[in-house]
Structure 1
């Protein structure tokens, strides 16, 4: 019996804590503070008046017309109308990029200097005036240590510009030993 009394004692103490002891005081205090407190809300400013823009496409240029844009770009191009000749027949060496070509030597035939270009395992003779490379390259000069190539490429704006490249003589491994 005593044992039951000890078990019920904590239960009775827990239930006593749930009583309405000081809750009424807190509720009265909250009502007082709520009655005395006045909220301060700043008024919103008036919204700005929207004035729509009336676009008259008949009187002005349509900014989204691609034909008008291309016409204006063509007028403003500083390239002077430089373009590659796409109607001429391509030469054999125009099928390879310049970085796949290696200058391996020179030779002179009939007082004309020829450059020797190696592509894969084949060696080709080239002279000024011939075309080489995939960017409309024209060989402008051949010297003992380099072949100069003038390429016509498009820049970021789409204009055709000239770019000078040089294929320099590659020292063979047999000569360095």
Structure 2
């Protein structure tokens, strides 16, 4: 009896496997049909049209242009003020004025020294006649609240202009 039970069970299992006897190719074709992606078509390719090059001057466009030399004379022969560049540069002339800050003063009476901090945290003391900033700024006056500086700037045609700048004393109240 035990043998018959095993045979019946094996037969039932084999009959159950016959239920899904579709060929594998049909299954794959059906899976591909159902899984098709819906992709929007791409926009039309932009077509670049280059303009034709037309030479409008005698200058060759592939060579570096030379500065115009309307006046071949140097600024020294002009009738305008020229700075003297033969002096030794001071340490505070390596920094723009925006990066320097006045933190205090020393001295009294006629001679006041200003305490200037650099971006690296170095402390320098300067007085009237010293130079500060990138534009050859000469210290004209040191007061209790600021330093008056006269900077020298080129005007582009060989002469130089003077500009007054004030570097204020930074107090703990003025720091934001």
TM-score, structure 1 as length reference: 0.52
Deviation at 1:122, TM superposition (A): 1.7
Gaps of at least 5 residues in structure 2 are 1-67
Supply the distance in 2 between the matched residues of 1:109 and 1:162 (Cα, whole angstroms): 29
Cα offset for 1:130? 0.6
Q: CA deviation at 1:81?
A: 2.8
Q: Distance in 1 between matches of 2:131 and 2:71?
A: 34
Alpha-carbon distance in 2 for matches of 1:72, 1:126: 34
Q: What aligned pairs does 1:1-177 form with structure 2 within 5 A after superposition?
A: 66=69, 69-71=71-73, 80-108=79-107, 111-120=110-119, 121-172=121-172
User: Separation in 2 of the partners of 1:126 and 1:72?
Assistant: 34
Distance in structure 2 (CA, Å) of the matches to 1:73 and 1:99: 29
User: Per residue, is there more helix in 1 or in 2?
Assistant: 1
Q: TM-score, normalised by structure 2?
A: 0.52
Q: Which runs of 4+ in 1 moved over 6 A?
A: 72-75
Cα offset, 1:72, TM superposition: 9.9
List gaps (5 residues or longer) in structure 1.
1-64
CA distance in 1: counterparts of 2:76 and 2:87, whole angstroms: 24
How far is the alpha carbon of 1:156 from its aligned partner? 4.1
Q: Conserved in 2, the CA contact under 8 Å of 1:84 and 1:136?
A: no
CA RMSD of aligned residues (A): 2.8
CA distance 1:73–1:91, change in 2 (3 Å): closer
- Residues paired across the two proteins, number: 107
Contact in 2 for aligned 1:152/1:163 (Cα 8 Å):
yes
- 1:119 & 1:140 partners in 2: Cα distance? 20
